[in-house]
Structure 1
Amino acid sequence: MVFECQRDSFKTEFDTKVVSCKPAELETLSDGKKEKLKGYEVIVEDTVLFPEGGGQPDDRGTMNGIDVLRITRQGADAIHFVQTPLDVGTEVHQVVDWKRRFDNMQQHTGQHLVTAIADNMYGYKTTSWAFGQEKCSIELDTPKMTDEQVAIIEDAANEAIRKCTPVIPKCYEADDKELDGIRGRGLPDDHVGLVRVITIEGIDSNMCCGTHVYNLSQLQVIKILGVEKGKKNKTNLIYLTGNRVLNYLGKCYNTEKALCTALKCSPEQHVDMANKLQKNIREALKSKTSLLREVAKYEAEQYKNKTDREEILSIHRKDGDNEYMNIIANEIGQENGVIFASVGNDKGAGLFLLSGPADLISEAGPKIAEILDGKGAGKNGRYQGKANNLKKRKDAEALLRSSLQKNKSEKE
């Protein structure tokens, strides 16, 4: 079936009638978590709200002021998911979320245009395309593309836009001979009714159910951002068109201004300044690591030289690392005392290390990891791991002291 949204992609409002309404659930993602919404699947006589298909996302909009949260197609029907029931026979007024619709139209027609040019010029077939939140990509059946090829495709696409090339939708009977040789990936198994073809005059004809602009001038511009290595010896071409180019340019400009302020230099100097800062950071980290090694050796030596030293060295360093703890443990040795070292946020996450008699550490290690809300592993008198709650160091230290006393008593 060809819906009203496909007959006139620029139509934003439409009156129709409810054919059926039945309870249903919709699985959605909310803050990265799956959530099931209770609602209703509504079928109407015809719809101006596009159901997902052909790689294009579905529309959003309203029916009698009720939000339509998902539109899918089943055979000749478009299924509208809403959370308020609508009685069969009710007249409904549909309104399209035009901002979303027009963006979908621009990106989809842009994909047809780039796909056709890549095929016509280089024989690179499109095997799939992805509609992203900010960028779109076209998977081409070629292991690589040169910068020159990318530039030529972009130039050809923008030349077609400047020529105001018409984009013409036309419908055919499924057995019409006119469909022979028209590009497409085949019809869905549940397809019903007429077959719709989108023709970019003089460039391409393609079977497609999606919504499209009337004229390539409505794309405004095509920008190919680059190519990436795809799966199975293919290449992904990343592109923007229409309002997305303007939005992307605006974001880039704001980022450029922020970098000018942060780096205190002109845009032309950003890369050199970033490289310089990275070099300085690497040198600073190298110096820090060297100093931490010296500090670890010094603290171990201080402990070993004490005549009245405690049986347990409990030490925490916020800016320490795993190497820092291991140097202390190695310098002191298991025979010279029990070590409980930790690094990181003293009220949050970090690392910990235990060193001492093998029987003591093997027993106390897992218990201390549990107190610190972490996990670890070890052998031969050493146990170390990650902690999520170093705020409980005192509790862990108390358990270690208790375990040490118990261990000594058992040996006596």
Structure 2
Amino acid sequence: MKFLKSEWNLMTTEKIYYDDQYKQSFKTNLVKQDQNEDGRLYVVLEKTAFYPTGGGQPHDTGTLNDVQVYDVEEIDGEIRHYVERSLDEHENIVGQISWERRFDHMQQHSGQHILSAAFEDVYGYKTISFHLGKDHCTIDLEVPNLTEEEVNQTETLVNEVILENRLIEAKWVSEEDLSHYSLRKELSVSENIRLVMISNFDNSGCGGTHPSSTAEVGAIKILHWEKQKRNIRVYFVCGARVMKQLQVKHQVIQSLTSVLNAPQEKLIDAANQIRQYSKNLEKKVDELKNELLTYEANKHIDHAQLKNNQKIVQSIYENRSISELQQLSRLITSMASDVIVFFISENEDKFQLVCTRGKDLDINMKQVLKEVLPVINGKGGGNDSLAQGGGERIIEAEHLMEELMKVSLF
């Protein structure tokens, strides 16, 4: 640990981002370099424009003397800038934040304030959580259901507020001053209270960075919503992300119009026709599969072997699914109630087994399988009439079949 300022224990990092949220570059002095408990290298500065993760807003990124800052967090007033390599302690520090990322976060965060205020003002739906993600944002509303009409009306209102270019102002207040303000939600702190106020629309306690007017939010678009336990989660984007979403969706639609050979307004009809056609094909394929299995079942019955006065159907396959073998074995025993069926499938380095008997027999298939599985270090289960299992392919399939025959007939 290297401390460069002996008086540091009497001060905390000066937060430039609160004085000027538009500050993109700054000069400062290095206070200390250290590693956290995970061995990540970080530096502490006298002042910084880097916003640390907090209040639902992700951290800034950027550089310090061209060294990449990939994470920022605040611990007990100490803002830690996690860097890819150490800094020269004798150099003056020049910081540069990634402005595109910062301004995006400012747009999303202010958009969330506007959207949450609108849902509460119009419908009384309170926001209980907020997440600012890489591609989209979410709020959880304390309400069991949300209608399309409510969403459309709310979206119209928030975009009107944005176009009105209302002032967004941040202000530090004392606990005694709070009586002069109508707050949307209860504060989580009683000291260092910072209010973010949208003129004649919303007052909220917030430690994040925001633009100076609603117009800079650009636009808000609600993407979709879904049930989240007892609440509703609303997905939305603001600012430049709206244009990005529009571009992505436009490209998808253009591709679909070509693939489906239909104009945009007919895409749903075209997709539904293809879906129905696919369902019909699947139904026909299932019917043909059943016909093939019936044919195969009859063929097995015709070639059943008689051993110790017992009819046996046995077969070894490669890479055949156990579900299909179960279906085939059930079909055989439904058509011939006095037959035992043993199927083995060789799948790479494993065996899968199906053991079935007709209803006229009293052989316990589960017990037969249980006695054979140790030969292949296997596991399985089932009941008296049908059992299935699997194990390691450490013997020849023919040897395994012999073991099944031996157990079932003697």
Aligned length: 385
Q: Alignment partner of 2:134: what SS? A: coil
Q: After superposition, what is the alpha-carbon deviation per residue over 1:117-172, rounded to whole angstroms, capped at 9, x for unaligned?
A: 22223332222112233222222233333333322221221112222222122233
CA distance in 1, matches of 2:264, 2:258: 10
CA distance in 1, matches of 2:304, 2:47: 91
Answer yes or no: is 1:362 the counterpart of 2:374. Answer: no
Which amino acid is 1:327 matched to? R
CA change 1:355–1:237 in 2 (3 A) is same
Answer yes or no: is 1:15 the counterpart of 2:27. Answer: yes
Task: State the 1:87 CA deviation.
Answer: 6.3
- Which stretch of the first structure deviates more once superposed, 103-112 or 10-19? 10-19
Please tell me whether the aligned partners of residues 108 and 210 of structure 1 are also in contact (alpha carbons under 8 angstroms): yes
Which amino acid is 2:388 matched to? Q
Q: After superposition, what is the alpha-carbon deviation per residue over 1:47-100, rounded to whole angstroms, capped at 9, x for unaligned?
A: 211111111111222222222232122232212223423466763222212222
CA change 1:300–1:100 in 2 (3 A) is same
The TM-score normalised by the length of structure 1 is: 0.80
Counterpart for residue 34 of structure 1: none
CA distance in 2, matches of 1:178, 1:403: 85
Counterpart for residue 275 of structure 1: 272
2:343 to 340, 345, 350: 340
Higher relative contact order (CA 8 A, sep 6+): 1
Equivalences for residues 292-311 of structure 1 within 5 A: 292-306=289-303
CA change 1:128–1:403 in 2 (3 A) is same
CA change 1:105–1:177 in 2 (3 A) is closer
Which amino acid is 1:340 matched to? F
Equivalences for residues 236-251 of structure 1 within 5 A: 236-251=233-248
Counterpart for residue 24 of structure 1: 36
CA change 1:326–1:275 in 2 (3 A) is farther
Please tell me whether the aligned partners of residues 376 and 383 of structure 1 are also in contact (alpha carbons under 8 angstroms): yes
Counterpart for residue 324 of structure 1: 327
Instruction: Please provide the CA RMSD for this pair.
Output: 3.5
CA change 1:10–1:406 in 2 (3 A) is same
CA change 1:290–1:65 in 2 (3 A) is same
CA distance in 1, matches of 2:390, 2:56: 44
Question: What is the aligned-residue identity percentage?
Answer: 26
Task: State the 1:244 CA deviation.
Answer: 0.9
CA change 1:395–1:329 in 2 (3 A) is farther
- Which stretch of the first structure deviates more once superposed, 356-365 or 234-243? 356-365
CA distance in 2, matches of 1:238, 1:123: 19
- Which stretch of the first structure deviates more once superposed, 264-273 or 222-231? 222-231
Answer yes or no: is 1:158 the counterpart of 2:159. Answer: yes
Counterpart for residue 102 of structure 2: 101
Q: Alignment partner of 2:59: what SS? A: coil
Please tell me whether the aligned partners of residues 18 and 44 of structure 1 are also in contact (alpha carbons under 8 angstroms): yes
Give structure 2 stretches of 5+ with no counterpart: 1-11, 307-311, 358-362
Please tell me whether the aligned partners of residues 322 and 353 of structure 2 are also in contact (alpha carbons under 8 angstroms): no
Equivalences for residues 11-410 of structure 1 within 5 A: 11-25=23-37, 38-86=39-87, 91-173=92-174, 175-176=176-177, 181-188=182-189, 194-232=192-230, 234-306=231-303, 312-315=314-317, 321-322=323-324, 324-328=327-331, 330-331=333-334, 336-342=339-345, 353-355=354-356, 358=365, 359-365=367-373, 370=378, 376-380=380-384, 382-384=386-388, 397-404=397-404, 407=407
Which amino acid is 1:213 matched to? P
CA distance in 2, matches of 1:56, 1:164: 23
CA distance in 2, matches of 1:113, 1:71: 27
CA change 1:307–1:253 in 2 (3 A) is closer
- Which stretch of the first structure deviates more once superposed, 261-270 or 42-51? 261-270
- Which stretch of the first structure deviates more once superposed, 250-259 or 394-403? 394-403
Please tell me whether the aligned partners of residues 322 and 354 of structure 2 are also in contact (alpha carbons under 8 angstroms): no
CA change 1:183–1:43 in 2 (3 A) is farther
Task: State the 1:399 CA deviation.
Answer: 4.3
Please tell me whether the aligned partners of residues 28 and 45 of structure 2 are also in contact (alpha carbons under 8 angstroms): yes
Which amino acid is 1:314 matched to? I
Structure with the greater alpha carbon radius of gyration: 2
Please tell me whether the aligned partners of residues 172 and 196 of structure 1 are also in contact (alpha carbons under 8 angstroms): yes
CA change 1:403–1:124 in 2 (3 A) is same
